[in-house]
Structure 1
Amino acid sequence: MTLRGVDPETVRTALERADPLPGTAGFAGELDETLVRDVLGRVPLYVETDRDSTTEPGSRWAFEPAVLDDPVALPPGATLELVEPDAEPERRWTLPAPEPEPDRDAALERLSSAIRTATSEARAADRDIAVAFSGGVDSALVAELLDAPLYVVGFPDSHDVDAAKTAADAMGRELTVVDLEPADLERAVPQVARATGRTNAMDVQIALPLYLVGERVAADGFDALAVGQGADELFGGYEKVVRLDHRVDAETTRGAVREQIESLSEQLPRDVHAIEATGLAPVAPLLHDAVVDAALRLPDELLADETERKRALRLVAADSLPAEIAYREKKAVQYGSLVARELDRLARQAGYKRRIDDHVTKYVQSLLEEDTDPPAA
């Protein structure tokens, strides 16, 4: 029996009650000769596409894609019987759709309590935690409630480094700055591509800052890295959920937010693998079941509109953070750290010009092919 993220009895009870949010921070693995994965896919889990090619059930699945010959992710909320080679994944949990809380104050109190529950559980675990800190409301709230050391990664003139410095000063906290050079990207790209199983430009650009800050955090003796992941999806942090443009199918902001929550299973494995490749355990308090449940119950007025995104989270954060941090807008990590800009520059310097279709992805693939160093631990 190999299960990550939770004790077996919690999963058994969740299966019996069809409870998609049983109070965990995500789980996956083998339970009673059955593979299980939580409703949001917070813990990556992969199975062999051709399970008939393996003889032992334990060799048919893994937590990392590179271990298998032809891996495919087990869908979120699904189970798969290992003793039946021809079995197909069965959806056992779906994301709940509770009615919005009509009382605005009650909704905010539920969310505040949930976030504190999540961070308290993270603190109670036997881990030395540092925080990947960008100076925005997501990581700042996690950092404040965890009371853990702060690390920011980026090129010297980057938005994230400047934002993290001003936020740390406002919070009265010390900050470790991990200054990047182009050579850091060239070295790390193959490691990130191997760990995540992805070579497309966007995924690599997002994973690189996590990997590079994780390297420093691990070198400094910590064993876990806390992140603010999930906030944009849960609370309406994306422009597309307000504009309802071609990037979403929903016709309402609430529906668009739900779409983003359901998309987490596609994104989170990338981030988890990037962090784990440095030897650290990822900690994402804002993705705890209690926080997800509270987010799903938020009334429309506390989600997002043309004037403000992540309204509920900002209101809750304002109780713990200076207002200039709680209401600060911030760039996505690949842009705020300038990793995307510098990776594009390296690609062009290597001869992969912008006129070449998907030139950065081709550059990433070339670095992976050329690299002969062993994968990171």
Structure 2
Amino acid sequence: MLHGAPPEFVRRALDDADPLVGTAGFAGALPSDRDDADETLVRDVLGRYPLFVDEETGEWTPSPTGLANARSFPAGHVRRPGDAELERVWTLPDPVPFADEQTAVAELRTAVRDGVDAAASAASDDPDMEVAVAFSGGVDSAVVASGLDAAGIDAPLYAGGFPGSHDLDAARSAAYAMDRELRVVEFTVGDVERAVPRVARAIDRPDAMAVQIALPLYLVAERAASDGYTHLAVGQGADELFGGYAKVARAPEDPRVDADTVRGARDEMLATLPDQLERDVLALRAAGVEPVAPLLHDRVVETALRLPGDALVDDRGERKRALRLAAREFVPDRVAFREKKAVQYGSLAARELDRLAREAGFKRRMDDHVTEYVRSRIDE
């Protein structure tokens, strides 16, 4: 089964070796035109849908939990019928940047609208699709929420975090500025303790950082699912596409990137997206919802790749410059230009997971004590 896009789109992408043919990602088995022929396994260039293959049997599933010897199928690759080896078919293009900021912002504004409208159209066409929004109060989720609302999709906003956390404060403030109601999911230590083994098993990773990031997503999605929502709209991909990381803004001085330009550092972050999206999608599915990521639509990606360095990070160090300017059509300025903490810190999930690890006897003097705690919970 092919997930994420109609077969004709994927066939065109294969025929033209075009990574951005107008989808929101795809993965799975592309049916053959002949009834007696085997299927071709595919995964899009950004890895927006997970895909796993058993190294011994060749079986595949969208989740690693169903396979004995699962490995992630790499993004941008295909496995054709009868071939044991994978073939890289798609890579992201390196287009000429826009000549000026005004053009860049106008094109990006249109692209973002197109990406959100595509998600809204899918929701309108499927009577069983009920969409909520994972809302942090930052520009990414705010643009998604506002765009869906403008397109006629009644998608309530869900914000998660521990009481007093930055994320809950930011979400309340942004929802007020946007004149939207907010459904608050206040985490407890018991929630985190309960969710740790479920999340770690679902994403098939025990490392502390992966679990810290996935936990807030899982807990918010779990609440939305319990309220009857089948899909959760997220702002995933914006930091990678639009220069949201401090290490991108500091290129080439920051030792965490190899590139000597802001655009080059942004491209390094894009290369991490398949791994990150795999984690997030698996966590959301474990909670009972499917993700909707309008800012990762091909139209948005194609436009983001043409942003010049100063549209990613301006000369004052403001990150996601073009996105913030484009967002002014969708949200108030105080939301468009708000700085945001990473979800694991803004929600206080990382702090409480560290506390649980220490209370369980995994002290900070140990090597990677939180990961060891997570491992112990998986083995229970």
Q: What range describes the TM-score normalised by the shorter chain of this pair?
A: over 0.9
TM-fit CA distance, 1:93: 0.7
TM-fit CA distance, 1:81: 2.4
For 1:326 and 1:103, the matched residues in 2 are separated by 21
* C-alpha distance after superposition, 1:223-278 (max 9, x if no partner): 10011110100000001012121211111001001111121011100000000112
* C-alpha distance after superposition, 1:2-30 (max 9, x if no partner): 10000111111111111110100000111
3-state DSSP of counterpart to 1:277 = helix
Q: Which runs of structure 2 are paired with 1:58-77 in the superposition (5 Å)?
A: 60-77=59-76
TM-fit CA distance, 1:181: 0.6
Which one of 47, 50, 53 corresponds to residue 53 of structure 2?
47
3-state DSSP of counterpart to 2:95 = coil
Q: Does 1:224 align with 2:231?
A: yes
Q: Which runs of structure 2 are paired with 1:264-275 in the superposition (5 Å)?
A: 264-275=273-284
Choose 303-312 or 282-291, whichever is displaced more: 303-312
Could you say which residue in structure 1 is the equivalent of 2:256?
247
Unaligned 5+ runs, structure 2 = 33-38, 150-154
What code does the residue aligned with 1:262 have? Answer: A
What code does the residue aligned with 1:102 have? Answer: A
* C-alpha distance after superposition, 1:50-95 (max 9, x if no partner): 2xxx3xx6xx1111011111111111110012434xx211000110
Could you say which residue in structure 1 is the equivalent of 2:95?
98
What code does the residue aligned with 2:300 have? Answer: V
3-state DSSP of counterpart to 2:318 = coil
TM-fit CA distance, 1:44: 0.7
TM-fit CA distance, 1:109: 1.6
What code does the residue aligned with 1:136 have? Answer: G
Q: Does 1:79 align with 2:74?
A: no
Q: Does 1:315 align with 2:325?
A: yes
* C-alpha distance after superposition, 1:181-209 (max 9, x if no partner): 10101100111011100110000000000
For 2:329 and 2:6, the matched residues in 1 are separated by 33
Could you say which residue in structure 2 is the equivalent of 1:234?
241
Could you say which residue in structure 2 is the equivalent of 1:146?
148
For 2:28 and 2:317, the matched residues in 1 are separated by 42
Could you say which residue in structure 2 is the equivalent of 1:196?
203
Could you say which residue in structure 2 is the equivalent of 1:158?
165
Q: Contact 2:249/2:317 (CA < 8 Å) preserved in 1?
A: no
3-state DSSP of counterpart to 1:19 = coil
Could you say which residue in structure 2 is the equivalent of 1:339?
349
* C-alpha distance after superposition, 1:114-135 (max 9, x if no partner): 1111111111122211110011
For 2:109 and 2:117, the matched residues in 1 are separated by 12
Q: Does 1:290 align with 2:299?
A: yes
Which one of 115, 119, 122 corresponds to residue 122 of structure 1?
119
The CA RMSD measured in Å over matched residues stands at 1.0
For 1:186 and 1:279, the matched residues in 2 are separated by 19
What code does the residue aligned with 2:46 have? Answer: L
What code does the residue aligned with 1:337 have? Answer: S
* C-alpha distance after superposition, 1:141-190 (max 9, x if no partner): 11111122100010011000011001101110000000111010110011
For 1:322 and 1:16, the matched residues in 2 are separated by 43
Q: Does 1:214 align with 2:213?
A: no
Identity of aligned residues (%): 61
Unaligned 5+ runs, structure 1 = 371-377
Could you say which residue in structure 2 is the equivalent of 1:262?
271
Which one of 336, 358, 365 corresponds to residue 326 of structure 1?
336
Could you say which residue in structure 1 is the equivalent of 2:36?
none
TM-fit CA distance, 1:307: 2.4
Could you say which residue in structure 2 is the equivalent of 1:374?
none
3-state DSSP of counterpart to 2:379 = helix
Could you say which residue in structure 1 is the equivalent of 2:106?
109
Choose 73-82 or 188-197, whichever is displaced more: 73-82
For 2:45 and 2:116, the matched residues in 1 are separated by 21
Which one of 304, 307, 312 corresponds to residue 303 of structure 1?
312
Q: Does 1:357 align with 2:328?
A: no
Choose 175-184 or 243-252, whichever is displaced more: 243-252
Choose 101-110 or 141-150, whichever is displaced more: 101-110
3-state DSSP of counterpart to 1:9 = helix
For 1:136 and 1:103, the matched residues in 2 are separated by 26
